[in-house]
Amino acid sequence: METLLVFLTLLGVTSTEQLFVGDQVLRVTARNEEQMALLGVLGEQEELQVDFWRHPNSLGHPVDLRVPFLNLQGVKQFLDSQNFSYSIMIEDLQELLDEEKESMRRSRRVKRSSRTFDFASYHTIDEIYDWMDVLVEDHPNLVSKIQIGQSYENRALYVLKFSTGGWKRPAIWLDTGIHSREWITQATGVWTANKIAKEYGQNPPVTAILDSMDIFLEIVTNPDGFAFTHSSNRLWRKTRSLNAGSRCVGVDPNRNWDAGFGGAGSSSNPCSETYHGPHAHSEREVRAIVDFIRAHGNVKSVISIHSYSQMLLFPYGYRREPTPDHQEMNELAKKAVSDLAAVFGTKYTYGSIATTIYMAGGTTIDWAYDNGVKYSFTLELRDSGRYGFLLPSSQIVPTATETWPALLDIMVHVLEHPY
């Protein structure tokens, strides 16, 4: 046993780290309503530990699910017996995780000083927080770091503020990493923060925005979950709060908002990846943003960045009826995804959450919209399923680069359409 632990340590594997050797990600397509219902039943079988990466939403839309190696044969037999069409997207999850870890190790080996930061690599929470301090030092007249609260495990909730002065000016809120395993989002948040800081005074649209408005960017919105993805379980999605009466930990922070709370697309089961929590805003990480936006009183746009699926979404998620601003939001989304695609040809779909992916109660942008923030959007970044949440670090900079014009389109529109 001791020899095994030494061997695993040499490989960079800690004894508390969950391994995914032989786990596969299957892409399943439901051909009829009965098969849709069966996929729902499959997800409720806790003993199978099936993890939906893309949830069942409508016929013909692929569903991605991670299946542990030990349950693979049983799940495939079930799919075959019910005449499902499916393919293997990821043959062995652990191989991708090992490659990701090795890539991070290589990046650290070439790091030369605290002031050099590899934007093409994934980073830990400590590395990101240290870099935020460097960004503030490099741009003291534009960037500041504020703390809006503490997480369940008492980690600081830091937000970067980009401002050229004034008090409670019209503001844009951006957040990344509310689902901790979506590492491409925190990495894109870092790249975007650096881009905003460098472009002010050089790029006319960025300069115009910051001459009149402030930008707030929370890069690590779920710090406990993010730290846990590095230390113990790379695929952890939720917060790390303890649930009374349950062995299962955490709440889905994007089902915890007071907008259609407890509705479709969320679960009352604490063991579910979409557990909505005991009540709206139960999570400190969510409550901190709610309190900040309410206290500020002049936030005009909320953009919450997720992965994966390549989509630009807007309210509603908890109801199918279009918002009063649907047409304007749809036209803006259309322009944004067009400008995004012009960079590398990456195709995004767009529309309301409910009509584009699935009904989802308790989401960030529905709460924001219902609380007077008209321009509320969610981005689902790369990819469309080849790597899912394990997007190679070689795609970080391309992803952030193509996302930038879409973000700029939204921010310029907010600037030019005051309300």
| Mean pLDDT, range 230-244, rounded to an integer | 98
The pLDDT tens digits for 95-108 are 999 999 999 999 88
Q: Please state, in angstroms and rounded to a whole number, the distance separating the CA atoms of residues 84 and 79.
A: 5
181: left (phi over 0), alpha (psi -120 to 50) or beta: alpha
Beta strands in 219-362 (DSSP E): 299-307, 311-314, 349-352
| Mean pLDDT, range 7-30, rounded to an integer | 77
CA 35 from chain center: how many Å? 28
Matching residue, tokens 């400190």: 284
Is residue 10 scored above 50 in pLDDT?
no
Q: Please state, in angstroms and rounded to a whole number, the distance separating the CA atoms of residues 297 and 300.
A: 9
| Mean pLDDT, range 209-238, rounded to an integer | 98
Q: Please state, in angstroms and rounded to a whole number, the distance separating the CA atoms of residues 251 and 231.
A: 19
Give first-to-last CA distance, the chain, whole Å: 65
What Rg, from alpha-carbon coordinates, does the chain have? 21
pLDDT for 342 equals 98
Angle between helices 183-199 and 204-212 in degrees, nearest 10: 90
Between 45-54, 125-134, 148-157, 333-342, the lowest mean confidence (pLDDT) is in 45-54
Q: Phi and psi (nearest 5°) for 384? A: -105, 10
Is residue 4 scored above 60 in pLDDT?
no
What is the value of pTM for the model shown? 0.94
Give the C-alpha distances (Å, rounded to integers) separating 66 from 90, 235, 311: 9, 10, 21
Helix (H, G, I), strand (E, B) or coil at 417: coil
* Cβ proximity of 401 and 343 under 8 Å: yes
pLDDT for 8 equals 43
The model's confidence at residue 237, banded by pLDDT at 50, 70 and 90, is very high
pLDDT for 54 equals 92
Which of the residues are catalytic? 380
CA 105 from chain center: how many Å? 24
Strand 85-90 with 214-218, pairing: unpaired
Give the C-alpha distances (Å, rounded to integers) separating 185 from 147, 150, 363: 20, 21, 17
Q: What is the amino acid identity at position 130?
A: D
